[in-house]
Amino acid sequence: MNYLEMDKKSLEQRFEVIKGMYQDFLSANLHLDMSRGKPSAEQLDLTTDLLTAVKSERDCLTQDGTDCRNYGLMDGIPEAKELFAEFLGVTPAEVIVGGNASLSLMYDCVSWGMTHGYLGSTPWSKLDRVKFLCPSPGYDRHFGITESFGIEMIVVPMLEDGPDMDMVEQYVNHDPAVKGIWCVPKYSNPEGKTYSDEVVRRFAALKPAAEDFRIFWDNAYGIHDLYDEGDRLLSILDECKEAGNPNLPFLFGSTSKVSFAGAGVAAMGASEENIAYIKKLMFYQTISADKINQLRHVRYFKNMDGIRAHMKKHAAILRPKFEMTLETMEEYLGGKGIASWIHPRGGYFISFDTLPGCARRTVQLAREAGVALTPAGASYPYGKDPNDTNIRIAPSYPPVKELRLAMELLCVCVEYAALEKLLGEAN
Amino acid sequence: MNYLEMDKKSLEQRFEVIKGMYQDFLSANLHLDMSRGKPSAEQLDLTTDLLTAVKSERDCLTQDGTDCRNYGLMDGIPEAKELFAEFLGVTPAEVIVGGNASLSLMYDCVSWGMTHGYLGSTPWSKLDRVKFLCPSPGYDRHFGITESFGIEMIVVPMLEDGPDMDMVEQYVNHDPAVKGIWCVPKYSNPEGKTYSDEVVRRFAALKPAAEDFRIFWDNAYGIHDLYDEGDRLLSILDECKEAGNPNLPFLFGSTSKVSFAGAGVAAMGASEENIAYIKKLMFYQTISADKINQLRHVRYFKNMDGIRAHMKKHAAILRPKFEMTLETMEEYLGGKGIASWIHPRGGYFISFDTLPGCARRTVQLAREAGVALTPAGASYPYGKDPNDTNIRIAPSYPPVKELRLAMELLCVCVEYAALEKLLGEAN
């Protein structure tokens, strides 16, 4: 029963039903938050023993004898550099292990572009125009950073296997004002798409018009598979080296959704030349990140096998939530022609599309009934979704029962907004 | 026996003796580091129980029920804001509790001045000239930040009770390019001087030519007394409010030399208007600092009384080192007219002055004999001590026995360099 083919009277009848259902939700007085990709308490409980992984004076020494309770080792303790090298797919010499937030590392890299430039290039603050490419829908906090610095953001459509590379090449290879691109290459935020080998190789083979163009490769969900067989992503740094472009990518990652959100460890990777330059800038900013927390993570997880085994426990908690979310959508909206959604195999989000012009209204209806969603439009630069269709659904945080309720409400809101639109057009 | 009054022959005889003593040190093959103000292992052992102050899921909740293992509370958990408000001498609404490094908070504030400006003022990167006043000798890492951003640094002499305020007023009140001043107001780095009430009040009463002038008030040693009766410092924010200048100061502090160096908690204080503005900028940079570490600190120290009691344990370890250092200087150099030094009542340093032109040579001699000191000149902007006299001595880190040895060597090097100079002038 595709609504786009229904007559006005049937639509009106259906709208009455939906209004009644929505009214019931209003009476239920819900207070649910699905706005951010936060791990649930059950997931956080998985790493309780991390809290006490360093508990005595003797525990505080690194493998090279450095006391983590004191100053020093700005770019991270040796064992953390080893671990995060494997985590990011680079060598220990190509890693800086930082504090608790990869977002701050990205922010700093953009900020240094503005104030200091990269490897001798002109600081962006001295230029008339600076542009970033923004594959969209994408991560609102990436776009927030570039917006905050007054950098012009250009929407690049996301295709099935990554950003529209024809457009990326057109911009990067010909416009010297284009200084960067935001990428979430695996289980992208919000669509859960993974860049194909061809896309990664086309990134590596870029011939930027700007010598200081960088790929901001935020591999936030690099190990966040929902199923045993996860998506595969090529190593961007290896490919860039092979293409003779070793300085192109800045890689980012963290354990925020591995151990504790906001109390994990973040790291960045890049060519040795980039790393050496960033360490020179970083020297003025900090004496070191929290090395005790780095040590806790190494002691607790031991190595990447330990982390990968741990991620299976997260998947066991997350998978049923994702599947239930998708089932509810199918149950309520399947075949109606008023919505579409993606089935991700990892990451933290389900990307959902309403009829054009209905996303904002849907989110508003849900909010008024007590369910907070990421604001419609947030997944586009400047918060402006040109078609007003995209909604980012974050199923991780609520308990399953609440999630089911919230999804039922969301589906009702989607239908409510769609019927409003269809009936408005019919008049 | 003042060397400045000795004849050439006596100086030559003495130089032979000193050269022999220096030779003995060379043979001793020392490897000591007195270059930075690092706490000793014995001091770090004082807070071992902090490591396990948060050890279970239930421990991770704040007083308002927020789970510190998850995202949120960008400006700090409520109990940490309360603690650091008292720590900094402001109200909880005037505090941002950050990560592990106050240096990073200062860096960010300067960086935001460059890229975003303060409260609507023009970003400094858009101006032709930006200047900072640098009371000197001062903290090398402050000067490093401003140098890194290409900000012009102006030396302001340190008098007995703080910076030369006539000069400060002259610059700040008349030159709109002067955007900031670096201050360590209590037990200043390296001189251990505390700003008098009059100096603090003159700071508060400044009438800056630049609307975006800020006092960078790094109260790094605010509670680091060596003796029961510590120096007293007026509250800069209170005085500024009283003078009608609430937005003038940015306050900084941390527990780096209270709990763990590099794994403590840092905070900044400012007027509510400044804090609201900084939070707007910070929103793009981070989701939150490590709240679990904030919680560890609150649980372990409980309140400022707890911190103050703890600081007495630090003092008991540091005091003998400071006193022995001063006694060794007196013993080796007293009355010779070739050196002077300050007796601080807190902080981490002893400021030492050689004859003009001898500091660099003294540090070089010590280094060649295996004792690393802070590079001569480091306490001045651009690393240039105009008279080449100042050496910053950091007695905290080495065990007492090694410290005694290092100080003996340093005294020999001071005398070596002084005799070289006096004999050179005599020729």
Kindly list the averaged pLDDT for each block of 10 residues, start to end, along chain A of length 427.
94 97 95 90 98 96 96 96 98 98 98 98 97 98 98 98 98 98 97 98 98 98 96 98 98 98 97 98 96 98 98 98 98 97 97 97 97 95 97 95 95 98 87
In this structure, the answer to whether residues A231 and A318 fall within a common structural domain is no
* Both tokens assigned to A51: 């809290």
Nearest Cα residue in chain B from A102 = B286
Look at residue A55 and tell me if it is in a domain: no
- To the nearest whole Å, the CA of B327 is away from the closest chain A CA by 27
Confidence check: pLDDT of B65 > 90 = yes
CATH number at residue B409: 3.90.1150.10
Nearest Cα residue in chain A from B259 = A69
- To the nearest whole Å, the CA of A355 is away from the closest chain B CA by 31
Quote the pLDDT of residue B33: 86
Chain B residue numbers touching A114 (CB-CB < 8 A): 114-115, 125
Q: Which domain holds residue B128?
A: 60-303
In this structure, the answer to whether residues B196 and B252 fall within a common structural domain is yes
Quote the pLDDT of residue A34: 87
Chain B residue numbers touching A72 (CB-CB < 8 A): 262
Q: Among A281-295, B23-37, B62-76, which is the least confidently predicted range?
A: B23-37
Quote the pLDDT of residue B35: 86
In this structure, the answer to whether residues B375 and B333 fall within a common structural domain is yes
In this structure, the answer to whether residues B285 and B359 fall within a common structural domain is no
CATH number at residue B114: 3.40.640.10
Chain A residue numbers touching B115 (CB-CB < 8 A): 111, 114-115, 125, 149
Of B249, B278, B303, at which residue does a domain stop? B303
Domain count, chain A: 2
In this structure, the answer to whether residues A299 and A315 fall within a common structural domain is no
Quick check: B41 and A57 CB within 8 A?
A: yes
In this structure, the answer to whether residues B140 and B246 fall within a common structural domain is yes
Chain B residue numbers touching A141 (CB-CB < 8 A): 284, 287
In tens, the pLDDT along B248-269 reads 999 999 999 999 999 999 999 9
Confidence of residue B413 (pLDDT cuts 50, 70, 90): very high
Confidence check: pLDDT of B344 > 80 = yes
Look at residue B374 and tell me if it is in a domain: yes
- To the nearest whole Å, the CA of A15 is away from the closest chain B CA by 39
In this structure, the answer to whether residues B275 and B355 fall within a common structural domain is no
In this structure, the answer to whether residues B66 and B166 fall within a common structural domain is yes
* Both tokens assigned to B76: 């700090």
Confidence of residue B1 (pLDDT cuts 50, 70, 90): confident
In this structure, the answer to whether residues B245 and B352 fall within a common structural domain is no
Look at residue B51 and tell me if it is in a domain: no
In this structure, the answer to whether residues B283 and B327 fall within a common structural domain is no
Prediction ipTM score: 0.96
Look at residue B336 and tell me if it is in a domain: yes
In this structure, the answer to whether residues A266 and A402 fall within a common structural domain is no
Nearest Cα residue in chain B from A113 = B115
Quick check: A72 and B285 CB within 8 A?
A: no
Q: What's the rounded Cα separation, in Å, for the pair B138 and B11?
A: 34
Of B288, B303, B318, at which residue does a domain stop? B303
* Both tokens assigned to B199: 């100096």
Look at residue B89 and tell me if it is in a domain: yes
Q: Is the whole model's pTM more than 0.95, yes or no?
A: yes
Quick check: B260 and A57 CB within 8 A?
A: no
Look at residue B35 and tell me if it is in a domain: no
Chain A residue numbers touching B145 (CB-CB < 8 A): 284-285
Look at residue A36 and tell me if it is in a domain: no
In tens, the pLDDT along A283-320 reads 999 999 999 999 999 999 999 999 999 999 999 999 99
In this structure, the answer to whether residues A191 and A97 fall within a common structural domain is yes
Average pLDDT of the segment spanning B310-326: 98
Average pLDDT of the segment spanning B345-360: 97
**Out of A55, A69, A260, closest to residue B69 by CB:** A260
Look at residue B47 and tell me if it is in a domain: no
- To the nearest whole Å, the CA of A323 is away from the closest chain B CA by 23
Of A257, A286, A303, at which residue does a domain stop? A303
